Amino acid sequence: MAQFWKPETEKPRLVEDEDGGVIFLSSSYSSSSSGYGYVSIEKQRQRLPVYKYRTAILYLVESHATTIVVGETGSGKTTQIPQFLKEAGWADSGRVIACTQPRRLAVQAVASRVAEEMGVKLGEEVGYTIRFEDISNPDLTRIKFLTDGVLLREMMDDPLLTKYSVIMVDEAHERSISTDIVLGLLKKIQKRRPELRLIISSATIEAKSMSNFFLSSKRRQALEGEELRPRLEPAILSVEGRGFNVQIHYVEDPVRDYVQAAVSTVLLINDKEPPGDILVFLTGQDDIDAAIKLLTEEARSNGKNSSGLIILPLYSGLTRAEQDLIFSPTPKGKRKVVISTNIAETSLTLEGIVYVVDSGFSKQRFYNPISDIENLVVAPISKASARQRAGRAGRLRPGMCYRLYTEEYFLNEMSVQGIPEIQRSNLVSCVIQLKALGIDNILGFDWPASPSPESMIRALEVLFSLGVLDDDAKLTSPVGFQVAEIPLEPMIAKMILSSNELGCSDEIITIAAVLSIQSIWFSARGAQKELDEAKLRFAAAEGDHVTFLNIYKGFLQSGRSSKWCHKNFINYHAMKKVMEIREQLKRIALRLGIVLKSCETDMQLVRKAVTAGFFANACRLEAYSHGGMYKTIRGSQEVYIHPSSVLFRVNPKCVIYHSLVSTDRQYMRNVISIDPSWLTEVAPHFYQQQRHNPTIH
């Protein structure tokens, strides 16, 4: 039986399952979003806490070079401040107001919300740009949302960002690697462009330390005698929120399985507590999908008490239609359960949440410069994050937060703040971007938080081996400049450049496009066996990269059919995205003088090109224990092939991985087999110490 969320046909549609119990996302809903019917948009705007500060914000921006705005999530910072600025004339005479976000999904969501509030078509007066998706118009767009990564890219063409009158660096508390680089660079730009205004906004921020960062003693001196300049001392404005009390519950004993515990808690809330939506914080697509499956099964066997649960995932990579569902009002008599990554912690506000279930974990990037290993780890969140998560429950009325950890743990073991991403990341991409912007003294760069010198040195070494930097640590010509120009990680960029020489650029560009999205497989949700069978149909002995080529071919041969995708457990939306990205990469390649050429069936060339980019991730098989134990050739770190790889249990002697994820062990995702002799061929410097190691040759 089909059921509609709201009567209007253009609203996303939900379909009830056969038992009339839990509601699923239908795959055939429309993707448009339209206005909210309840209160007029203007009224909604006026009710936001930030509205009362409109005059104050505009005054501070007028009179100060930098304004720091701290305000609770949902108070209206992101959606309202750019509109205030526009109304006050900051976007007149062709100027543009920019607002950055660390997350792509947040960029899309807030841009469409603001376009809706202003009653304009998204992509015209209000637009957005994320990597590989530019929904803006250089002539029309006055308010532009973009990721901080894209703003960094824009600096390569326009180092002083001259088209922007105000740049709002939003979600600064997240301290993403790009946010930190952007802050350092904007501080430099401000010296050259006194008319530029910065707004730094965040939910919780050490406002004072951010303010100190923007005020060095030198700048104070520069101010003297220049009355016309805006005040250089940053202004700090705190927006008083209107959050309600949130009652916190802790578990008595530590939980062993937070997915199971989260599901049980949701069912308990649904049984015992009055209406109100539930927001569950897990860590990533895998455990979110697992939780949805469990919840669906348990709710169904629970009987009628659980009918009316609307279960929705929230993670990056959702389609527009799926995003729209998250923001749609919950129909009467239903209860929405949104199971999210920490994107809902501060980047996005969902109306109607009364209950929060906090697993206490998030996926975080960690890098060890000694072993040169970077991976995504499910790690405990900080107290600051835990408070933010709880706060999501108190927007409408007093709420409740169920923490799946003990009070003792919260008080005594959780760290107070998270560590800025720049201090726990591989810096290869960061270094090349700064080099491309002409910043040569990277160690001496004015960072909001300094990265470790070891990580810097590692990055310089990899870039040197890639042929991107020369002996003086300057970008090489043309390779270094070309790699910097490709908006992908330097290793992928190098792989593309090498494919040109090897004559397999057509194949490598497809691979690069697939690697730049999360997954092209449809999440299994209880159909693991069928998914594995589908994978076997495309599996290539060489590994995952070549498997992607088989899938791409099959997709083209099917006439880009969604049915074909469905039958083969391939995510149709992901494939469409791959096609789009591939087109863009083709254009970039052409600009760099690369003409697409296919190597037809010679997969050795493809493997060599992958090696030329990813030699640093080479591993060799050490033992057959635990399904095949590998060690990284450079750092001797123990790693295993991820079960999702077509090479799982195949265990070639020598492989290269694209990325690592860490759970009980370090797992390699997207793996290809190579001939070890290629390593010394493509990266002699990098593998020098290994010269005497017999397994390399």
Of ligand CDP, Mg ion, none, which one does residue 359 interact with (CB within 5 to 8 Å by kind)?
A: none
Cα radius of gyration (the chain):
26
Judged by CB under 6 A, the chain residues 314 through 333 that form the site for ligand CDP are 327
Q: Which of 22, 57, 70, 71 binds ligand CDP (CB under 6 A)?
A: 71
Q: Which of 11, 13, 77, 103 binds ligand CDP (CB under 6 A)?
A: 77
The nearest distance, CB 120 to ligand CDP, in angstroms, is 15
Of Mg ion, ligand CDP, none, which one does residue 11 interact with (CB within 5 to 8 Å by kind)?
A: none
Q: Which is nearer to ligand CDP, 77 or 363 (CB)?
A: 77
Of ligand CDP, Mg ion, none, which one does residue 434 interact with (CB within 5 to 8 Å by kind)?
A: none
Q: Which is nearer to Mg ion, 78 or 388 (CB)?
A: 78
Q: Which is nearer to ligand CDP, 78 or 666 (CB)?
A: 78
Tell me which stretch binds ligand CDP (CB under 6 A): 78-86, 471-479, 662-670, 683-691. Answer: 78-86
- Residues 6 or more apart whose CB falls under 8 angstroms from that of 669 comprise 642, 644, 645, 657, 658, 659, 660, 661
Of ligand CDP, Mg ion, none, which one does residue 74 interact with (CB within 5 to 8 Å by kind)?
A: ligand CDP
User: Are 326 and 338 spatial neighbours (Cβ–Cβ below 8 Å)?
Assistant: yes
The nearest distance, CB 204 to Mg ion, in angstroms, is 12
Residue among 268, 265, 277, 262 nearest 361 (CA): 262
Range 632-638 contact pairs with CB under 8 angstroms and sequence separation of 24 or more: 632/371, 632/372, 632/373, 633/676, 633/679, 633/687, 633/690, 633/693, 633/696, 634/372, 634/686, 634/687, 634/690, 635/370, 635/371, 635/372, 635/373, 637/371, 637/373, 637/666, 638/665, 638/666
The nearest distance, CB 314 to ligand CDP, in angstroms, is 12
Tell me which stretch binds ligand CDP (CB under 6 A): 77-85, 181-189, 296-304, 378-386. Answer: 77-85
Of ligand CDP, Mg ion, none, which one does residue 508 interact with (CB within 5 to 8 Å by kind)?
A: none
Q: Which is nearer to ligand CDP, 313 or 613 (CB)?
A: 313
The nearest distance, CB 171 to ligand CDP, in angstroms, is 8
Tell me which stretch binds ligand CDP (CB under 6 A): 71-79, 451-459, 503-511, 632-640. Answer: 71-79
H or E element at residue 274: none
Block residue for tokens 């005059």: 55
Tell me which stretch binds Mg ion (CB under 5 A): 20-28, 76-84, 279-287, 617-625. Answer: 76-84
The nearest distance, CB 110 to ligand CDP, in angstroms, is 6
203/75 Cα distance (integer angstroms): 9
Q: Which is nearer to ligand CDP, 173 or 607 (CB)?
A: 173
Binding of ligand CDP by 375 (CB under 6 A) = no
657/515 Cα distance (integer angstroms): 11
Q: Which is nearer to ligand CDP, 347 or 465 (CB)?
A: 347
Judged by CB under 6 A, the chain residues 333 through 362 that form the site for ligand CDP are 349, 351
Judged by CB under 6 A, the chain residues 32 through 51 that form the site for ligand CDP are 48
- Give the C-alpha distances (Å, rounded to integers) separating 560 from 31, 565, 570, 576, 577: 20, 8, 12, 8, 12
Binding of Mg ion by 388 (CB under 5 A) = no
Judging by beta carbons within 10 Å of its beta carbon (0-12, 13-18, 19+), is residue 315 exposed, middle or buried? Answer: buried
Of ligand CDP, Mg ion, none, which one does residue 149 interact with (CB within 5 to 8 Å by kind)?
A: none
The nearest distance, CB 74 to ligand CDP, in angstroms, is 4
Q: How many residues bind ligand CDP (CB under 6 A)?
A: 16
Residue among 168, 94, 196, 93 nearest 138 (CA): 94
> Amino acid letter at 114?
V
Q: Which is nearer to ligand CDP, 329 or 380 (CB)?
A: 329
CA angle 648/650/651 to nearest 5° reads 90
Q: Which is nearer to Mg ion, 78 or 328 (CB)?
A: 78
Tell me which stretch binds Mg ion (CB under 5 A): 78-86, 424-432, 444-452, 681-689. Answer: 78-86
Q: How many residues bind Mg ion (CB under 5 A)?
A: 1
SS3 343: helix
Judged by CB under 6 A, the chain residues 273 through 302 that form the site for ligand CDP are none
Q: Which is nearer to ligand CDP, 112 or 465 (CB)?
A: 112
Residue among 97, 101, 128 nearest 112 (CA): 128
Judged by CB under 6 A, the chain residues 109 through 148 that form the site for ligand CDP are 109-110, 113
Range 523-528 contact pairs with CB under 8 angstroms and sequence separation of 24 or more: 523/285, 523/289, 523/571, 524/289, 524/569, 525/289, 525/292, 525/293, 526/293, 527/569
Tell me the DSSP string of 433-454. HHHHTT---STTS--SSPPPHH
Binding of ligand CDP by 76 (CB under 6 A) = yes
562/570 Cα distance (integer angstroms): 9
Binding of ligand CDP by 73 (CB under 6 A) = yes
Whether the ω angle into residue 331 lies within 30 degrees of 0, i.e. cis, is no
For residue 135, the cross-strand partners are 128
600/504 Cα distance (integer angstroms): 8
Q: Give the number of other CB atoms < 10 A from CB of residue 692.
A: 7
Tell me which stretch binds Mg ion (CB under 5 A): 70-78, 147-155, 375-383, 651-659. Answer: 70-78
For helices 490-502 and 505-515, the axis angle rounded to 10 degrees is 160
Q: Going by DSSP bridges, is the β-strand pair 126-130/133-135 parallel, antiparallel, or unpaired? A: antiparallel
Q: Which is nearer to ligand CDP, 159 or 317 (CB)?
A: 317
Which two structure tokens, joined as six digits, stand for 321? 């239609």
Q: Which of 78, 147, 364, 385 binds Mg ion (CB under 5 A)?
A: 78
| Measured distance between the N- and C-terminal CA atoms of the chain, rounded to whole angstroms | 64
Tell me which stretch binds ligand CDP (CB under 6 A): 105-113, 137-145, 438-446, 514-522. Answer: 105-113
Which two structure tokens, joined as six digits, stand for 613? 């980019």
Q: Which of 12, 74, 243, 543 binds ligand CDP (CB under 6 A)?
A: 74
Tell me which stretch binds Mg ion (CB under 5 A): 74-82, 83-91, 399-407, 431-439. Answer: 74-82
The nearest distance, CB 116 to Mg ion, in angstroms, is 16
Q: Which is nearer to ligand CDP, 83 or 505 (CB)?
A: 83
Tell me which stretch binds ligand CDP (CB under 6 A): 66-74, 220-228, 464-472, 561-569. Answer: 66-74
Binding of ligand CDP by 78 (CB under 6 A) = yes
> Amino acid letter at 116?
E
Of ligand CDP, Mg ion, none, which one does residue 336 interact with (CB within 5 to 8 Å by kind)?
A: none
Binding of ligand CDP by 70 (CB under 6 A) = no
Q: Going by DSSP bridges, is the β-strand pair 618-623/654-662 parallel, antiparallel, or unpaired? A: antiparallel
- What letter would DSSP give residue 570? B
For helices 285-302 and 258-272, the axis angle rounded to 10 degrees is 40
- Residues 6 or more apart whose CB falls under 8 angstroms from that of 691 comprise 680
The nearest distance, CB 63 to Mg ion, in angstroms, is 24
Q: Which is nearer to ligand CDP, 76 or 234 (CB)?
A: 76
| Burial annotation 1-34 (CB, 10 A radius, 16+ → b, else e) | eeeebbeeeebbbbebeeeebbbebeeebeeebe
613/437 Cα distance (integer angstroms): 22
Q: Which of 79, 176, 265, 296 binds ligand CDP (CB under 6 A)?
A: 79
Residues in contact with Mg ion by the rule CB under 5 A: 78
Residues in contact with ligand CDP by the rule CB under 6 A: 48, 71, 73-80, 109-110, 113, 327, 349, 351
